[in-house]
Amino acid sequence: MVVGIVGLGLMGGSMGLALRSVPQVRKIIGYDHNKTHCKEALKFHLVDEVAEWDEIKRADVIFLAIPVEGIIRSFHNLTDVSPMCTIIDLGSTKEKIVSSIPPQIRQNVVPAHPMTGTEKFGPAAALANLYRNKIVVLCNLEESGELQQATAKALFEAIGMKIVTMDAKEHDRHAAYISHLPHAISYALANAVMSQEDARNILILAAGGFRDMSRLAKSSPIMWKEIFKQNKANLLDSMDHFEEELTRCRQLIQEEKWEELETWMEKAQKLHDIL
C-alpha cells in the first residue's frame, strides 16, 4: 500500500519511520505546508518523497498528523477520496474532530489518539520507536467502515501499539486530566518561575524535580493552544479539581497541620500503585 502522511513533525515523522518496518507498506509520501519541514523529512528519510495534496488524496492510507484545527480543515479537502481509502487522524482531542467529519467520508475515517509523544517537535524530533509498546485509542469505531477499521488496526499493531476503543466524548474527559491538565500546569509553573527568578539562579538551582515538571512547557504552543481550545470545557473542569487540591495543600501548610498534610501526600502516592 501507499501511505500518505500530512504533517511531517514529531508524530508524522515518527509514523513514517515506524512504517518502514511494515512489509505491506510499499511507499511513504508526505505533505507539509512548511517547506523546511519537507526538506528535513527527506533528509532524515521520514518519507520516500514529498507530494502535493492531489497525490496524497490518491494514497491507500492517509495519516493526518497536524494540529487539531488543521485536521478538521483537511477533512473538507478529502471528500473526494476513494471509498477504499483509510484516513486516520492522530489528534489529541476527539469529540469535535469526530463531529466535524463530512458524512460522505465518515466511513473512510478512523479517529485515533496515540498516547505518546515528547516535548520536542519538528522533523528532527522524529523517533522510529515513538509508538512501540504505547496505547492508541480508537474512537467511535463503529462509525468507520469495516475495511478502514481492519486497516487501521493492522497498521497500529504492526508498529507495536496496543489498541483501546473508546467513545470520543469519554476520551476527551479522560484526556483532560491525564494529558491536557499536566501541560497547562507545566506552562504555568514555567511562567511562575520565570517571573520570580533570574536566568542565573534557574540554571544553578533547577534540579530533577523542576526539570521534570517544566519539561512539558517545551511543547509546541501552536499545537497545545488548539488542543486547549477544542477541549475547553473538560480542561476547565480538570483545572477546578486541581485548584481544589492545591488549595487544600495550601490550607494544611498555612494552618501547620503537618500530620494531615502527610496523609494527603500519602493518598497521592497511591497513583503510582496504578501506574
All CATH 1.10.3660.10 domain ranges of the chain, comma separated, are: 171-274
- Strand-by-strand arrangement of the 2-6 sheet: 49-50, 27-31, 2-6, 61-64, 86-89, 109-114, 135-139, 162-166
Fold for 171-274, please state it.
6-phosphogluconate dehydrogenase C-terminal fold (1.10.3660)
Residue 83 burial (C-beta neighbours within 10 Å; 0-12, 13-18, 19+): exposed
Looking at residue 206, its pLDDT comes to 73
The tens digit of pLDDT for each residue in 78-107 reads 999 999 999 999 999 999 999 999 999 999
pLDDT tier at 275, thresholds 50, 70, 90: low
All CATH 3.40.50.720 domain ranges of the chain, comma separated, are: 2-166
CATH architecture assigned to 2-166: 3-Layer(aba) Sandwich (3.40)
**Mean per-residue pLDDT for 221-241?**
94
The DSSP result for 182-219, as a single string, is HHHHHHHHHHHHHHHS-HHHHHHH--HHHHHHHGGGGS
Asked if the model's pLDDT at residue 205 lies above 80, the reply is no
The tens digit of pLDDT for each residue in 141-197 reads 999 999 999 999 999 999 999 999 999 999 999 999 999 999 999 999 989 888 887
Model-level pTM greater than 0.75?
A: yes
**Mean per-residue pLDDT for 101-130?**
93
The tens digit of pLDDT for each residue in 20-46 reads 999 999 999 999 999 999 999 999 999
Alpha-carbon gap, residue 134 to 162, rounded angstroms: 6
